Amino acid sequence: MLGLQLAGGPRVRSAETAGPDLPFPLIERFETYGAAEGLPGHKIQCVTRASDGRLWVGTYEGAAVRENGRFHLISTNAGLSHRMVMCLVEDPRRGDLWLGTMRGLNRYSAGRITTYTQTDSGLPNNVIYGLAIMNDSLWVATAAGLGMLELKTGSWKIYDHNNTVMHEPWVYAVKSAGDRLFVGVWGGGILEFEPANGIFKEHRDPDRDMHFDLTPDDGPVSDVTSWIAWDAGILWQSTYFGLSRYDGSRWRTWQEKKSPLPSNFVNFVWARGPVAWVGTDRGLAVTDGSIWANYRTTDQGTGMLEIAAPGRPVENRRMTTALPNNFIHGIWVDDHEAWLATADGLAHAFLAAPRTAGKAGDAKTNPATPSFGRN
Amino acid sequence: MRKLSLILLLALASLVGLTLWVRQTYWGDHRRRMSGQTDLAKVGCLNCHLVSTASLRWSQPRPHHDTPAGLAVSPDGAMLYIALDDRDEIAVADTASRQVLRRWKITGRPWGLALDNLGKRLFVTCREGDRLAVLDTGDGHELASVPTGRGPVAVAFCRTLNGERLVVANSLSDDISVLADSPWRELGRPAAGREPFAVAGSPDGSRAFVANRMVELASVKTSPASELTEIDTLSGRAVRREALASAHLSESVCAVPSRSWMLTPVVKIRNQVPITQAANGWVMSGGLAITDVNTGEMLQMPLDEANDYFADPAGLVVDPAGGRAFIASGGSDVITVVDLERMAAWLAKASPAERREAIYDLALAPEYVVARLPTGRNPRQLALSPEGSTLFVAERLEDDILLLDANQLTVRGRIRLGDGGSDDPIRRGERVFTSSAYTFQHQFSCRSCHPDGHMDGLSYDFDGDGIGDNLLDNRSLLGVAGTEPFKWNGKNPSLDVQCGPRFAKVLMRTEPFPPGPLQDLTTFIKSLPPARSARRGDGKLTTAQARGKAIFFATRTASGKEIPHERRCSTCHRPPLYSVRLPFDVGTQGTSDTTKAFDTPHLLGVGGTAPYLHDGRAQSLEEIWTLYNPDDRHGVTSDMNKIQLNDLVEFLKTL
Amino acid sequence: MRRQLHVFLGLTAVWLGLLTGAGCRESRPQGTLVVTEVPPQAGFQTSTNDWDRLYPTGSRIVLLFPPFRTGPVRVLSESLVAAGGPIVSPDGQKVFFAGRSTITSDWQIYEGFPGGGRPQARTAMPGGAISPALLPDGGLVFVSPAVGIRGTNSGKQASALYVQPLSGTPQRLTFSSRNVADPEMMADGRILFVASPQPADGVPGSGTGLFTINNDGTEVTAFARPAPAGSVIERPRLLPGGRIAIVVAAAGAASPEGAAESIRLAQPFHAGSPLFPDAPARIRSVASTANGDLLLCARVPANPRSTLALYRVPPGQTTPDAPLLADPTWDIAEAVELAAHRRPMGRLSSVDPTKHTGQILCLDANYLANRNEAAPPKLATVRVRILAEFAPGTTRALGVVAVQTDGSFMAEVPAEVPLGFEALDEQDRVVGRQAPMLWLRPGENRSCIGCHEPPNRSPHNQRPLAVNVPVPRFDLPVGGVATGKAER
């Protein structure tokens, strides 16, 4: 029996040993948090750790913040505009946490929630999929365009198919990338926006085929962007038809069966240095584009780790702990831990110390990840 | 000759006939068409034509006075620094001789003051300059000027492990600028409540507390609350934002050195309760909010008495030993002295429920209020000498500083700054405006609902037509000159009537203002300029604002369809006042409203006057059209997309 | 010729005006007092009328001038057989008092003229008028019929407060079956008065109470805690420093004198404190002067058979010094200074004479005075029965009104009828009762926090649900059947 239930605490599963030399750390073990541990619901949509150390979790039944080992519920009774929390972002300058929900935007500032809806503010639409902070601006990916709230003035701007090259207004993700933004549009690929000069650049799948990546590496794998991530100059795109990477000049694409990517149905991607943490409907994949570590839970509840490296046979390891669910909605990772929002609980993944030279999360100290070509 | 006479007669007859014809066939139609009114009885040429803001009192020059605002005492107690916001000056006074030694010019309407721990640098918030100035106290030289949020009114100096911090309350942008030194720059801009107005550091400098003057926007049928914001000065972030339930107009905050208390004077409001009486604080009462910064427990204690009130609590200071608090009552010209030991003793023996209910007990204050010291007109800001022996009181509408012996509670003298301005009817009117002497038991002044002539963001339920659901939004008085008639039903043709018997009967519950004070009062109100808009400093519109302007003046919808004249924005909200001063039915009649047509408010400064509509149901400009204009009666907006609506809102904020 | 006539008439008018003006402006020394002198009596005589007992035949109003030696005085109540209860207008120019022109005539309010001249009657009330007070606009407040707080009036109308405008007919202000007395203008424009115990309130042993009312009869409110059983409150008078002086005397007929107490306006429901703790309870009246001194009329402590003497007591002093005036031939019953004093604040009436009803709003019928307790017992009032007292001791129900879930209810009720309330639970059991004691004036909107709310209590800032539902109207029953409807 892999799971060990501890009274009053998370379900602790036995630890794993670290893997071989890899460009990213492996997960040693998982702990799972659910309603029994104080989370408001078992369907976890998003998770992030704020700069003050507090862990924020968005669920289908409200948000929760973990302080001193305990979750505190933030519900509609506390002023949250809707129970389904879709996305989270911290404003590092103010320490506020912004929560996007299925009906409105929420600003959590030192215990107080201020809501913004499409009827009482300039928010483009109440359905919010993604959030990003860029200096003193909040960018909001909504079902009807990209909104920008100037935090100092309270003014809103909207970018949609009426005033940009946006193919359609269903914006799923937005990510701040230094002096520019990347905007993930469901069905419209990715927009690259430079606020300083107001220029939008469109990144579309050249073959325009939603399901098949007819010409690999020619651009985004699909226009159906489900999420985007950016770090260290590398953009990652998750789609429901595969995974893409863009380093500013070249695109790389991955699809299941043609690569170790466990599923084309990719919900989420988190970038840390050159490594992507990829949430799919069949578990978690961690990759730098060549080496893959895929985590999943078998039907029997066993945790499995599959390591695929170019020129080496795929290595399968059995883990003593497992993901609570293979459907990954959201990810947050640093050097020591990962938090995974799944369809049935929140997983806390403990990372083994990386054995490779260089520091994970710092692309400059680890510039040359081994390239093994496509499988 | 006869022929010429005949021709002239015929010409005259033709002219008369033409006039009559025009009048009959065109004049009425013109008025009807251009005003959108069916009842033309109130429609005249001057509703639309020959309207100019240049002739209004607020756009004309007015006398300036040596009006004291913020105070700061040097660490050795020898010097008192006084912000003279109406003069754009800082006065430096010798506290021993009670003489003003020098005056320093500083632009941007200086308001809040703070000194560093050595008294070498004076920090000045410039309310209209949106900046903080750092002055060398040696010669008044401006060492630095740091941009802040909009409308900075208060500053606190704090020392942290990582250097010095200035915490600035930005009253118009509803946020806080946390400035770090070497050089001074903005470290953080945490959000505050609505209209942050006062700031104080904790004794160890690690925290700063900001009192916010207005309540947060919320449904008009819920109990409102303002906020006390706690700032971590090291990081520049807000760490706690506590609600002050049904309390607002906090203009001061102060730490109690010997306790973990932070004190804030408040006005306890009862706007949710129908105003059937003023007695027993049914409209409002004054209180003191106590926040235990360790536990977060918040209490409110009454400062008023069962049959006498001390309106508009403003400045508050606590002596260095933490034994006494001094609170200025700007409306009643009184300094209330609270014995904090006695208050603590009462709290110690009270049950939690008794503490919660304390603010409702108007007979409680004598348990801890030990003195009521009379002052000149409109005491506002206070300062204590470092050792706590001298209390400095800015008697704002006297142009002087009152010095009180804080131990003996006796008058030591005054520092004269100006002549008081009694020859100026605007100044006299402001004295009336800020005085509670005209209301039942001195319960409130005009300013209690219209701080600085603006509004409090509340809706009140007057009982003029019986008790019931008759909430009415309190409108700003800024820029109302020339926008008569008044009241939401437009029944009051002038400010004289608006502020006269009706007001006395339904609110003051006393006899009306005497004729002289009433005239001064209306003169003062007419002198109030519109609230500051969001227009850029150069006066130009941004692209979005320009698009919004085009929408505001549009005669056709986005699809090219002509907008009926009566449904164009600019028909009712016609420049330059952005009101034709006529009532319109914009489809907002509520179930308890007795009329469909409501007075058209002017839009000057409208961006800062939320909530909106006659009952305050719209919490934002957007809601006017997204929620409360289903039939396009309040302008044709249903065909607008969100970008266009945002543009329109951006334009309105520039007015 | 005609022009000459006009000039002559004009000059005559100017001369008459100057003459009249000169009369009005006759200089009087500072500190002049208006004093009631009462013939000494063997004891307080039993009578059906307080004022007959307080001011027997021969009582008079006089002006006394410093240094207050006995001797000739200027009598303001000349030609009246009895007079008492003088007051001075805020400008210090006019004097009013109650008087009787003959021993059989009713008491009426007279204006006396300090400059000389016979007093002139200002009222002509059936049953008489006593206890004058002055509104800021010059309107006269008085009690009518002339039944004092100790008097019996079985079978008659209870004494009530009236206001008589400068021009106009008297208007009744109070509408209860309790006798009222001793109106005194408060600085805030309300009228402070004494009311006898509620005959039907079922609270044994309660004494007289102090109440306030607006000058249009609205907002009648208990002002201070009632007197102890067996005693009466008399002569409430404003003192400097936010205090009110009262004389608390035994309710029996033995003596109209008692102990003087002061009530703090800041805490009126707290126990009063003795004004002169060392003086025996032989005080007849207390009034203040412009400089804050107290004018005290009391018997010389050492000699209970002595006449009432006048003392002037400086602020802060709790023991009177030597009398200012002691006259073995007169009881100095009361004294007021003939000087300008603070004008009370004026009030506008909220009465709508076109209406016959008023509205009441109760914020929480389940409000409990002991809600401060950690777990207060919860009342379960779901309905409130509204009672009306048609005649003293005759109370009928007007109807029943539903209580909202927050405890609030509203009703439109007939004006100028004493109203009471019964709180009913789900089984229509009476769980709380307030006897008819308050009334509404036409068009008055009256609110309360709850039944038996603590005094001087502000309401919570909550929107009562009752304002959102139709307001039931209750009319006076015809043949004992109320016409109001209970609303759920």
Question: Is the predicted pLDDT of residue B97 greater than 60, yes or no?
Answer: yes
Mean pLDDT of B500-528: 92
Residue carrying structure tokens 């003195």: B371
Kindly tell me the number of DSSP H helices and DSSP E strands found in chain C: 2, 30
Q: Give per-residue pLDDT as tens, C362-414.
A: 999 988 654 545 555 566 899 999 999 887 778 899 999 999 999 999 999 99
Q: Give per-residue pLDDT as tens, A2-24.
A: 333 333 333 333 334 444 578 99
- Collect all residues of chain B within an 8 Å Cβ-Cβ radius of residue A114: 191
Q: Give per-residue pLDDT as tens, A309-365.
A: 998 999 999 999 999 999 999 999 999 999 999 999 999 999 997 554 334 333 333
Strand partners, C34: C63, C336
Residues 6+ apart with CB under 8 A from A181: A132, A134, A139, A174, A175, A191, A192, A193, A195
| Tokens (6 digits) for A240 | 């429901």
What is the residue extent of each domain of chain B?
246-532, 533-655
Question: Is the predicted pLDDT of residue B635 greater than 90, yes or no?
Answer: yes
In B406-542, the DSSP E strands lie at 410-416, 459-461, 471-473
CB contact under 8 A, B227 and A112: yes
CB B266 within 8 A of CB B244: yes
SS (H, E, C) B115-150: ECCCCCEEEEEECCCCEEEEEECCCCCEEEEEECCC
DSSP letter assigned to residue C457: B
CB contact under 8 A, B646 and A153: no
Q: Please report, rounded to a whole number, the percentage of residues in chain C having pLDDT higher than 70.
A: 82
Strand partners, B328: B335
Q: Give per-residue pLDDT as tens, A88-129.
A: 999 998 999 999 999 999 999 999 999 999 999 999 999 999
Residues 6+ apart with CB under 8 A from B31: B37, B40, B43
C-interface mutation test, from B219, B223, B268, B273, most C Cβ less than 10 A away: B273
Q: Which CATH class is domain B246-532?
A: mainly beta
- For residue B24, what pLDDT band results from cuts at 50, 70 and 90? low
Strand order in the sheet with C108-112: C82-88, C95-100, C108-112, C120-121
Q: Give per-residue pLDDT as tens, A169-193.
A: 999 999 999 999 999 999 999 999 9
C278 part of contact set with chain B, CB < 8 Å: no
CATH architecture of C29-337: 6 Propeller (2.120)
Q: Give per-residue pLDDT as tens, B118-134.
A: 999 999 999 999 999 99
CA distance B264 to chain C (A): 19
Backbone angles phi, psi at A344, to 5 degrees: -145, 60
Q: To the nearest whole number, what is the mean pLDDT of chain B? A: 94
Task: Count interface pairs A-B at CB distance under 8 A.
Answer: 83
Nearest residue on chain C to B463, alpha-carbon basis: C445
CB contact under 8 A, C348 and B510: yes
A-interface mutation test, from B642, B645, B650, B654, most A Cβ less than 10 A away: B642
Mean pLDDT of A143-159: 95
- Collect all residues of chain A within an 8 Å Cβ-Cβ radius of residue B546: none
Q: Which helix (H) or strand (E) holds A276?
A: strand A275-280
CB contact under 8 A, B237 and A136: no
Mean pLDDT of B605-621: 95
Mean pLDDT of C204-211: 75
Mean pLDDT of A225-247: 96
What was the pLDDT predicted at C229?
81
- For residue C22, what pLDDT band results from cuts at 50, 70 and 90? very low
CB contact under 8 A, A152 and B189: yes
CA distance C394 to chain B (A): 29
- For residue C18, what pLDDT band results from cuts at 50, 70 and 90? very low
Mean pLDDT of B317-345: 98
Closest CA to A156 of A144, A173, A167, A168: A144
CATH architecture of C357-468: Sandwich (2.60)
DSSP letter assigned to residue B89: E
What was the pLDDT predicted at B184?
96
Cα first-last separation, chain C: 84
CB contact under 8 A, B646 and A156: yes
Q: Give per-residue pLDDT as tens, B403-429.
A: 999 999 999 999 999 999 999 999 999
Cα first-last separation, chain A: 35
What was the pLDDT predicted at C485?
44
What is the residue extent of each domain of chain C?
29-337, 357-468
Q: B and C: touch, per 3+ CB pairs < 8 A?
A: yes
Higher-confidence position of B223 and A214 = B223
Same fold? B246-532, B533-655: no
Q: By three-state DSSP, how is residue B466 classified?
A: coil
Q: Identify which of B273, B353, B365 has the shortest CB distance to residue C459.
A: B273
Strand partners, A191: A183, A202
Question: Is the predicted pLDDT of residue C8 greater than 60, yes or no?
Answer: no
CB contact under 8 A, B306 and C371: no
CA distance B156 to chain A (A): 19
In DSSP notation, C134-169 reads E-TTS-EEEEESS--SS---TTSPPPEEEEE-SSS-
Number of residues in chain A: 375
CB contact under 8 A, B642 and A111: no
Q: How far apart are CA A369 and CA A357, in angstroms?
A: 11
Task: Count interface pairs B-C at CB distance under 8 A.
Answer: 143
Closest CA to B417 of B90, B59, B31: B90
Q: How far apart are CA A29 and CA A338, in angstroms?
A: 10
- For residue C44, what pLDDT band results from cuts at 50, 70 and 90? low
B519 part of contact set with chain A, CB < 8 Å: no
CB A163 within 8 A of CB A156: no
Q: C and A: touch, per 3+ CB pairs < 8 A?
A: no
Q: How far apart are CA A128 and CA B558, in angstroms?
A: 27
DSSP letter assigned to residue A192: E
| Cis peptide, bond prior to residue B611, ω within 30 of zero | yes
Q: How far apart are CA B476 and CA B481, in angstroms?
A: 11
Crossing angle (nearest 10°) for helices B515-526 and B425-433:
100
ipTM score over 0.90, yes or no? yes
What was the pLDDT predicted at A362?
38
| Tokens (6 digits) for A179 | 């002096």
Mean pLDDT of B366-378: 98
Residue A179: other Cβ atoms inside 10 A: 10
Q: Please report, rounded to a whole number, the percentage of residues in chain B having pLDDT higher than 90.
A: 84
Q: How far apart are CA A148 and CA A181, in angstroms?
A: 11
Mean pLDDT of B346-371: 96
CB B151 within 8 A of CB B159: no
CA distance A50 to chain B (A): 13
Q: How far apart are CA B137 and CA C114, in angstroms?
A: 66
CATH architecture of B533-655: Orthogonal Bundle (1.10)
In DSSP notation, C170-201 reads -EE---SSS-EEEEEE-TTS-EEEEEPPPTTS
Q: How far apart are CA C417 and CA C437, in angstroms?
A: 9
CB C233 within 8 A of CB C250: no
- For residue C50, what pLDDT band results from cuts at 50, 70 and 90? confident
What was the pLDDT predicted at B325?
98
CB contact under 8 A, B622 and A121: yes
What was the pLDDT predicted at A354?
57
Nearest residue on chain B to C408, alpha-carbon basis: B273
Backbone angles phi, psi at A174, to 5 degrees: -145, 140
What was the pLDDT predicted at A13?
34
Q: Give per-residue pLDDT as tens, C438-453.
A: 999 999 999 999 877 7
Q: Give per-residue pLDDT as tens, C160-186.
A: 999 999 888 999 999 988 899 999 999
- For residue B23, what pLDDT band results from cuts at 50, 70 and 90? low
Question: Is the predicted pLDDT of residue B67 greater than 90, yes or no?
Answer: yes
